[in-house]
Structure 1
């Protein structure tokens, strides 16, 4: 068997197959047959959306972003059709195709996984067919600026990077970990609780990060109140902003929403609490409020 000729036929087939198929996906984005959500999707709580609906809604939110992806796909298609531009075409193709493959599997996009995997494997075959050239370009070719072309003081301190890189690497990791524990720590209240009193004017209570809360309506969409809370071993205090100041925050274009004025807050609820399994019982001066954790 003539392996070189077989390689040529397979290489050519993969080029034309990828270039042809990706055009269909590109025009689907431009014409709106892809990344289009059905009207019923907009009435569903985000927590109930499937991976497919969530992905389609997210990517379909911005039309121009879908067009940008489509233009990248059309460009790579045209480049793959010609032998002289195949190398840059396959690099461009893989730059978005690997991401598509990961999204299909991470968000469980049924019906798309097989084709995405096939096209990625074909593109990798085209890339690997000329791996010596890529190794030479990316690894063995001298860097852009040689030592003789750089200022002497740069050459003298170049070893500082072996100190700088670990500092940046571990500094960001531990710095962000510390900020997360300080600002995004989760306590025993964190989560969504459902009001067991069906006659109440609100159904869902959300305790969130940074000791903040939101009280939402029937479908956990309509906002009723929000603010901050503090607690001890047995007592809980919820504070909310005045209506006047809340309207300021809703229209905020500065940093007021990040650093709100806590002097403009009122006590919304104050009482003793008990958490038993998935039940939260808050005893106020007038009644008991019982919540059930749903997530």
Structure 2
């Protein structure tokens, strides 16, 4: 089935139900056939290893995605002119998470820390506690903000619970009964000393690489997504000052479904047009700076709309062209990011009053 970016499709729930349906008879048959076995030490050990590797991989990927602003990117220009009431719950959550670079660093570091603690057997219990804490927050956000990663986050949370349950009684005695905890003698299936040394060296190297990546991002704030994003010379939020259709000036009426309110050019090859009614039209966008020409084309329409553009000054733009049979002339003024309270309101140690707008 084609991926849609959602992990909570009907297909995913059907697959989960099918897996559960198969699990029950398999467990019963296995239990009956292997009824006389006293322990599953080796099998349980490798079961924990698989869970640890899965969680390590997931925590490092999700943590680094936050540290490098890959999961929660900075606000897009389109997002800045969108009203809160028109956002989806997931869009609101992504806007909140993407607003603060250092909050992303903090959350990402906690996830990475949980993954690193699972690398070493002596710190698995602590790592599982850290992951339970961070993933319970992620799971609740996914459930309450309708974010379609509910199944994945629930599985990661349950995996961490399983690892904690291995030493659950010892954790309970330590935190709730104030009892002395004895040292654990771990089951060791690997007898080859050289192989064990290689694994230990590999673990330390992985920790070094991951922490180095986090340190680099924290200190110099390297924004990989911004480096890779090539911007058009028309980049910005352009607010319509004058809109002329077939030589008639259209007044800025909020009920006008034709008149443009904003032209938003964020990515180099894409443009967004927001109408007076707040409806959105998205176009593929091509800029020919040699001819001072831009071409709009909808993804669902083969017809191209050509405009000649001219910068009156760095803050004013004029477009002249046609949309189907209509001649269009538009005068824009660049809307700076500093006009938005979400951007221009910076951190303050001292606040004499609440600034909650």
TM-score category (smaller protein): 0.3 to 0.5
User: TM-score, normalization: structure 2?
Assistant: 0.40
User: TM-score, normalization: structure 1?
Assistant: 0.48
Structure that is richer in helix per residue: 1
- Structure with larger RCO (C-alpha < 8 A, sep 6+): 2
